[in-house]
Structure 1
Amino acid sequence: MTEPHFLIATRTSYDAVATAYAERFAGVHDTQPLALAMLDAFATLVRTAGGGPVVEVGSGPGEVTARLHAQGLDVHGIDLSSAMVALARRDHPQVRFEEGSMTALDLGDEALVGLVAWYSLIHIAPEAVPATLAEFHRVLAPGGLLLLAFQVGDEPLSFTEAFGHAVSLDFHRLRPERIERLLRDAGFTVQARMEREAGDGESTPQAYVLARKER
C-alpha cells in the first residue's frame, strides 16, 4: 500500500528540524496551565479506571508522554519521525518511544485504555481524519479514553521553511464542532471540551476534547 504524501512530507520535515524544534519548545507546556489541566484530568481518569496501556501518537520530543509516565501511567510514545524518536529516547530514557503512524497503529484491537493525540491530528489530511479516528477506536478498549489537542480554525497553515530548513508542513486548523461530530460517527461519546484564547506566540484559539469509546 502506497504511503500518503502527507505522511511522507510530515516525517521528512520533522526529521530535518527535530533538534531545533525540541530546543525551541522545551518546557512550553509548563506555561499552559489550562492545557496541563486537561492532561492531568486524563491521567487521573485512567488511573481511577484501573490503569492499563496508554499511547501518545505524534509524541515528538516526548515531553507529554514523559509527563503522563511521571503520573504513573503505563504509557509509551509513537512518532513518524525517527529523529524525534531518537531525541525522545535520549531525553526521557525511562519511557519507551517507537516509530509509527497514527493512521495504522501496530497494536491489536482493544489493546489500550487511553490514547492521546496532542497537536498531532493537525498533520493528518482532512479527508483522512475520519479513518484515523476509526483507527483510534479500533485500538481502544470499550470505555477507553481519547484526548485530542488542536488549534481552532478553518484554514490550514503551511510552511515551506522552518528553523533554517526546507520543509513541507501543513497544520490543519480544526473546528471542535466538526471533531465532535466525527468522534460520534466513529463510536465515541464526548466527555469534555475546553477552548481557550490564543496565548503568547499563538495565532489561534486552542481546543481540547476528551472522549470515551462507547461500551
Structure 2
Amino acid sequence: MKLTDTLELVSYRKDVDYFPRRSKPFDYTIKYIFYANDYRVELEIQFSIIDYTLCYRLPIINFGYDVHIEEFSKKNGRYVSVDDYDDEDGRFSVKYITNKQDRKILLKIVQKNLEHYVKRVNPPLIIRGPLGNFKQHSARYLKNGEIIINAGYQQIVASYNEVPDISTKKSFKDTVSELFYIYAKDEFAKEEVIKNYLLKQDAICQEKIAA
C-alpha cells in the first residue's frame, strides 16, 4: 500500500498472546514493514507483561517500539542492517527516512496503536523507560505519555532506584539519572505502586501472604 511517494507499507502482522483462563490478553506485538526510498523499515510496537505487583499481582505492562532499518547489500544479495544502526534514542532514523511526512506517518501509527491499546485492553499499570534526558523532553515521547493520561491514567515519575529489578531494567544500559514513567489506571493501582514499589514497603505484602 502506497502511503506517500517515498513510503510503502508491504506487511502488517499482529500477534496476541492468550493465556489459559485469561479473559483479556495483555501481550501484543504489532509489526509493520515498509519500503522508504531504498531502505527496508521494520516498525515493531510491543505491549508486554514484564512483572506483577507484589501484593495483588497486578500485571505491569511495558510499552515500547523499535525502528529497524536495512539496506540492500549487493554483496550478500539481501537486505542487511545499516552499519551505524543505533536505536538509543530513535534519532538515527532521520538520516535514512528523510521525508518528514513519512516520519510523521510512522509516529502516528505508533500513537494510534497505543491509543487503541489503552482504551480497549485497559491494563492496571503501564511502565515506560528507561528514559534518558533526550526522551524525557522529546515531543513524541511526551505525546505518548499524554495519550495514556488522556485515557484516564495517573502518571508517577520514578527514578532508577525506585523501580523494582524488573526485566526492563536489565535489558538496557541504565544509569541512575534515567527515569521511568509509571501509569496507574485507578487509585487502587496507584496505591499498590506507591506502597510496594516506590517506597518498597514490603511488610504489608508479607502479612497478606502469611495470613
TM-score by length of 2: 0.27
Q: Which structure shows the bigger proportion of residues in helix conformation?
A: 1
Structure showing greater Rg: 2
Question: Greater relative contact order: 1 or 2 (C-alpha under 8 angstroms, separation 6 or more)?
Answer: 1
More strand by share: 2
